[in-house]
């Protein structure tokens, strides 16, 4: 029995490496970078797990996936049991296995990481989820539900909304998701590129929801097409998961020149509308030989790697702090480097310079040095006098982050917001209005997929209780 391996035997196994597409090749295509572990690799990696009684990894997971349980099943080659254990707590494991920042969550807590490398929980999650998708026909379907006779509306089809909808539907409530765009997935579809998260995976997850009875209506903008008040009248409870889609502007000269994009526009054109990916896509995108992306988060990495794939000779990250301060996932930074992305660190943008015809031609920059730590605990960048220089760039992408979009909240003054415009909720996701719950980026500000999902799940439980008591 594999799970009878001694601790010493387990400790002697080296962490598996994720097979990936060759860097030179992949920097010019949109196919997925990570190719996934083989069954042998996955089982060997699973055997590295010490099955700790104290389960620190579980505590590190925002939705508390039973990691030792699913990993133990995988180590024995019982994939159906592994899938069952994994999907009990995580509704979108194939997504999370690809985009969660495991290095600061489960893997950060893994005892094997104290000396050496943690168990590759993310790789294993992805492996089991992909297997479950490929074999869904042979797996037991969702348990039959008892209709509750109650109706719930969900605003937004991102990870928060999808999770809440799934949870509500399996509890027997009739659920309709209203999505403003013409397609599902939220940031998963319009933000995160195909080479990190294939769209086919989102399609399959959405299909599963539809199979459990969730209705999805695209092209409905709550606050415009229907008001929140109308939803409250027509439904017994409402979950708001409309995300944080409002770009933070650069606030520097030249930001309206031709060739200057916000990350949301750039990524939406490519990921949602197929610009530059599909040979004759109706949606245009500027390619640019030199592309400068301002920012150091996941969004910036996605933009710069997309720019490489659209043919940029020089695709650059311009970030005002140092590399260790960048908020992006470590793996993305690593992949970006392999793909030939240049990192222009400790550099702040001063202005976008244009030509006579209104096109961007360069980014005027200033060198920075790291001073004392600021409120965020990170060392504060301070400008170095006389260090201005120009970086040639025909395309400049602003990836400074997003804030709460006020479109919905502005039309419902009674909904309590915090000073940043995010919806205020209690720990169960209840807002100031009875029957209205919220979660994800609209509550937290730009956060992560798994936190949005956790919110959706918690709110759904609270909504279920509300619906049954009402």
Partner 1 sequence: MFKVLENEVLAPGLHRLVVEAPRVAAARRPGQFVIVRSAPGEERIPLTIGDADGASGTLTLFVQAIGAGTRKIVAVPPGGFLRDVAGPLGQPTHIENWGRVACIGGGVGTAVLYPLAKALAEAGNQVTTVIGGRSAEFILLEKELAAFSAEVRVTTEDGSRGRRGFVTLELEDLLRNPARRPRSVFAIGPVPMMRAVAEQTRPHGVATIVSLNPIMIDGTGMCGGCRVVVGTEARFACVDGPEFDGHLVDFQGLADRLTMYHEHEAQCRLAHAGGGMP
Ligand X SMILES: Cc1cc2nc3c(=O)[nH]c(=O)nc-3n(C[C@H](O)[C@H](O)[C@H](O)COP(=O)(O)OP(=O)(O)OC[C@H]3O[C@@H](n4cnc5c(N)ncnc54)[C@H](O)[C@@H]3O)c2cc1C
Least Å distance between CB 353 and ligand X? 24
The reply on whether position 397 binds ligand SF4 by CB under 6 A is no
Which range in 137-145, 264-272, 412-420, 433-441 contacts partner 1 by CB under 8 A? 264-272
**Given 279, 386, 413, 427, the residue binding partner 1 (CB under 8 A):** 279
The reply on whether position 273 binds partner 1 by CB under 8 A is yes
Characterize the bridge pairing of strands 151-155 and 347-354: unpaired
Task: Fill in the per-residue mask, 150 to 189: x = in contact with ligand X (CB under 6 A), - = not in contact.
Answer: -----xxxxxxx----------------xxxx----xx--
The residues facing 290 across adjacent strands are 314
**Given 265, 323, 325, 342, the residue binding partner 1 (CB under 8 A):** 265
The reply on whether position 85 binds ligand SF4 by CB under 6 A is no
Footprint of ligand X on 387-426 (CB under 6 A): 405, 407-408
**Residue 366: both structure tokens together:** 């200033």
CA distance 273 to 166: 26
Q: Closer to partner 1 by CB, 60 or 259: give it.
A: 259
The reply on whether position 441 binds ligand X by CB under 6 A is yes
CA distance 468 to 227: 25
Q: Decide: 244 and 251 in contact? Cβ < 8 Å.
A: no
Report helix, strand or coil for 225: coil
The reply on whether position 283 binds partner 1 by CB under 8 A is yes
The length of the chain is 470
Cβ atoms within 10 Å, residue 306: 27
Question: In angstroms, what CA-CA distances link 428 with 438, 447, 462, 465?
Answer: 9, 18, 6, 11
# chain residues binding partner 1, by CB under 8 A: 42
Q: Closer to ligand X by CB, 353 or 415: give it.
A: 415
**Residue 129: both structure tokens together:** 């989820």
φ, ψ for residue 430, nearest 5 deg:
-75, 135
CA distance 145 to 291: 52
φ, ψ for residue 285, nearest 5 deg:
-150, 140
Contact residues: ligand SF4, CB under 6 A: 49-52, 55-57, 67-68, 110-112, 119, 121
Contact residues: ligand X, CB under 6 A: 99-100, 155-161, 178-181, 186-187, 191-192, 221-223, 241-243, 245, 267, 298-299, 302, 329, 405, 407-408, 440-441, 446-450, 452
Contact residues: partner 1, CB under 8 A: 180-182, 218-221, 224-227, 245-247, 249, 255-259, 261-262, 264-265, 268-269, 273-274, 278-284, 286, 357-358, 398, 405-407
């Amino acid at each position: 029995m594999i799970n009878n391996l001694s601790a010493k035997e387990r400790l002697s196994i080296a962490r598996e490496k994720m097979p990936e597409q060759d860097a030179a090749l992949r920097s010019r295509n949109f196919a997925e970078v990570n190719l996934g572990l083989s069954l042998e690799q996955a089982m060997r990696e699973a055997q590295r797990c010490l099955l700790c009684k104290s389960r620190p990894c579980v505590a590190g997971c925002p939705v508390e996936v039973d990691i030792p349980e699913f990993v133990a099943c995988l180590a024995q080659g019982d994939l159906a049991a592994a899938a069952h254990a994994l999907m009990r707590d995580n509704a979108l494991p194939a997504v999370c296995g690809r985009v969660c920042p495991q290095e600061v969550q489960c893997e950060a807590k893994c005892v094997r990481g104290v000396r050496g490398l943690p168990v590759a929980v993310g790789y294993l999650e992805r492996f089991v989820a992909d297997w479950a998708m490929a074999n869904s026909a042979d797996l037991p379907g969702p348990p039959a539900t008892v209709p509750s006779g109650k109706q719930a509306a969900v605003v937004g089809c991102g990870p928060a909304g999808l999770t809440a909808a799934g949870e509500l539907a399996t509890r027997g409530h009739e659920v309709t998701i209203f999505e403003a765009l013409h397609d599902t997935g939220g940031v998963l579809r319009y933000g995160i590129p195909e080479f990190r998260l294939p769209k086919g995976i989102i399609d399959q997850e959405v299909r599963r929801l539809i199979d459990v009875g969730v209705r999805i209506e695209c092209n409905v903008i709550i606050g415009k097409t229907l008001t929140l008040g109308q939803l409250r009248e027509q439904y017994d409870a409402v979950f708001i998961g409309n995300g944080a889609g409002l770009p933070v502007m650069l606030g520097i000269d030249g930001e309206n020149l031709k060739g200057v994009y916000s990350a949301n526009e750039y990524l939406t054109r490519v990921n949602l509308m197929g610009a530059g990916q599909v040979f004759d896509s109706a949606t245009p995108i500027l390619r640019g030989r030199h592309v400068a992306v301002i920012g150091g988060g996941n969004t910036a990495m996605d933009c710069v790697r997309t720019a490489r794939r659209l043919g940029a000779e020089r695709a650059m990250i311009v970030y005002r702090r140092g590399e260790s301060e960048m908020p992006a996932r470590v793996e993305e930074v690593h992949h970006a480097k392999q793909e030939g992305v240049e990192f222009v660190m400790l550099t702040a943008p001063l202005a976008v310079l244009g030509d006579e015809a209104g096109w961007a031609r360069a980014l005027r920059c200033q060198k920075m040095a790291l001073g004392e730590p600021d409120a965020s605990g990170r060392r504060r960048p301070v400008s170095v006098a006389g260090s201005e220089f120009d970086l040639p760039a025909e395309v400049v992408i602003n990836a400074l982050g997003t804030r709460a979009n006020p479109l919905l909240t502005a039309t419902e003054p009674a909904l309590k917001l915090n000073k940043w415009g995010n919806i205020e909720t209690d720990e169960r996701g209840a807002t100031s209005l009875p029957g209205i719950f919220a979660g994800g980026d609209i509550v937290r500000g730009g956060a992560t997929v798994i936190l949005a999902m956790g919110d959706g799940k918690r709110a759904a439980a609270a909504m279920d209780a509300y619906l049954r008591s009402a």
